[in-house]
Structure 1
Amino acid sequence: MPHPVIALSGNPRVGSRTTGAATHVAERLAADPADVRTIDLAGLAGQIFAPEHAAVDEALAAVQAARLVVVATPVYKASYTGLLKSFLDRYGPNGLAGVVAVPLVVSGNPAHALAGEVHLRPLLVELGAVVPARSLTVLDSQLADLDDAVDRWLAGGAADALATPVAIGSAR
């Protein structure tokens, strides 16, 4: 059975803080944390461009079948990682149609606060995902108390945006 909530991490390091943040946010947004599956793309990096890529294909199908996906990336050169882009490039037009996506950006610098809105959100929308709330940007310094950052993001309108019938993905 597919997991209704996916935490997708585009950090090129296995077990990164970005992956931990993605899982934490997905568990906060899930009705039941047991419904969350984490996909750490760092563990699949060797297959992204390989002729044999069964694990990547399975991850693509899992994300496509999810009701909600938290798409997380650290900021690299003021944008998302090439690893995340390479994975998402494997979808065709509207490959994420009907999937609700939450862009999550982990940054060391407050100057990159809009990286999720300016770069990651348009990519997800281009793939057909529904992105009803603003991107969640978390500074490295906030990772120690991630709940506080998530609470502020939810109180700032994300909770209402994600609670709408369209955001819930009633067709799924």
Structure 2
Amino acid sequence: MEEEIIDLVRKHEEFKLSGINLIASENRISKIAMKIFASDLSGRYGNEWYGGSRYSLEICECVKKKIEKLFGAKYSFVTPVSGNICDLAVIFSFTKCGDEVAGISKKDGGYPLGYHKFERKFYSLPTKYYSIDENKMQKINRDFPLTLIASSICPFPHPVEKIS
């Protein structure tokens, strides 16, 4: 099966050389860019919160400076996106500005999404040793009109029956 896929990729590469793409997103990239995207960096984050990101942070900073110089910009955002896009799709699909979202705080091991940047109120779930404190969660459920409990950052298995 791998050989079949590799053969199809080779045929695709040959085909792409036979014409000019007029859709910008399908244009060829430079060999150096291809080398970078084919490296382990394609699976790394540009955030110190994750382990193994030492050089990716340096690369992001270097690219950031070059982009700002190239475009004469004061600011640029060159950090790789990954799970953030999936999380944002859920947040934007199920909530609106001003809604309340509950999840595990960054200090307790939760995902550092930064809900306030998207005008959502964030409530930290009461956790102890990576488990949700069910009694405190029931109180939060009664006292706050939560729109969403961010399941991608909750402990597993979910104690839904105990906190609803």
- TM-score using structure 1 length: 0.28
For the pair shown, the structure with the greater C-alpha radius of gyration is 2
